[in-house]
Amino acid sequence: MSIIDERFQELVDLIPKFQNESKKAITEASKMISVAFRNENKVLICGNGGSAADSQHFAAEFVNAFSRDITRKGLPALALTTDSSVMTSIGNDSSFENIFSRQVQAYSKPGDILVVLTTSGSSTNCINAVLEAKKLGVLSIALTRTEANISQLVDLAIAVPSENTQHIQECHILAYHVITELVEKILFEGADS
């Protein structure tokens, strides 16, 4: 079997497992985020590397729109991975481990939601962001892998049953696309979930 066939087959095998194990958590995340937006709160999103890019992608789906058949207002979501001046000043003056927690401190208020994407589930800067969110009354959701350290700290974990980073990230994309679609349906079409 070629690498192409192997990688595709791994993902084909993983997606039904992820669907079965995460359906309830994806539904709950959609409801939590919908409540936050209804209450005029915002969603802050962070992650490292590919997950940093996914943080920006996820935020863009809320700020712009996911479904092309719904005309709606922009929803307040902010990727904490985009301001290089803020991140490098915190990293330089304090520590890279504080680049997200300091922004959570600056930008969030009770009722907001922090979403962290971490394939390892042990990224210190993501864990610190969650701990800061807890201090401030901000709910937290992690998109991670099964048996991740961060899952014990957040209010809700969406865990991919894999150790393969690329497949974890691929499943995270699927999860946040579904979450965005459900949030739009809840807020703008009156759906339950």
pLDDT digits (tens, 9 = 90+) for 36-63: 999 999 999 999 999 999 999 999 999 9
69: tokens are 């058949």
In-domain check, residue 75: yes
Is 100 within the bounds of a domain? yes
Kindly report the CATH number assigned to the domain that includes residue 97: 3.40.50.10490
CB of 117 closer than 8 Å to CB of 45: yes
**Residue at 183 is within a domain:** yes
Which residues, including other chains, have CB under 8 Å from residue 169's CB and lie 6 or more apart? Answer: 50, 51, 54, 119
Report yes or no on 29 lying in a domain.
yes
Compute the distance between CA of residue 186 and CA of residue 176 in angstroms, rounded to an integer: 15
- Confirm whether 7 is domain-assigned: no
Q: What is the pLDDT of residue 193?
A: 52
Q: Which residues of the chain have pLDDT under 70?
A: 191-193
Answer for the pair 166, 145: CB distance below 8 angstroms, yes or no: no
Classify residue 11: in a domain, yes or no. no
Residue 10 lies in a domain: no
pLDDT of residue 6: 94
- Cβ-in-10-Å burial (0-12, 13-18, 19+) of 83 comes to middle
Total number of domains in the chain = 1
Identify whether 169 is part of a domain. yes
Burial 93-105 (b: 16+ CB within 10 A, else e): eeeebbbbbbbbe
Decide: 103 and 55 in contact? Cβ < 8 Å.
Answer: no
List, for residues 173-186, the tens digit of each pLDDT value.
999 999 999 999 99
50-63 helix and 165-189 helix, angle to the nearest 10 degrees: 10
| Domain of residue 153, residue span | 18-189
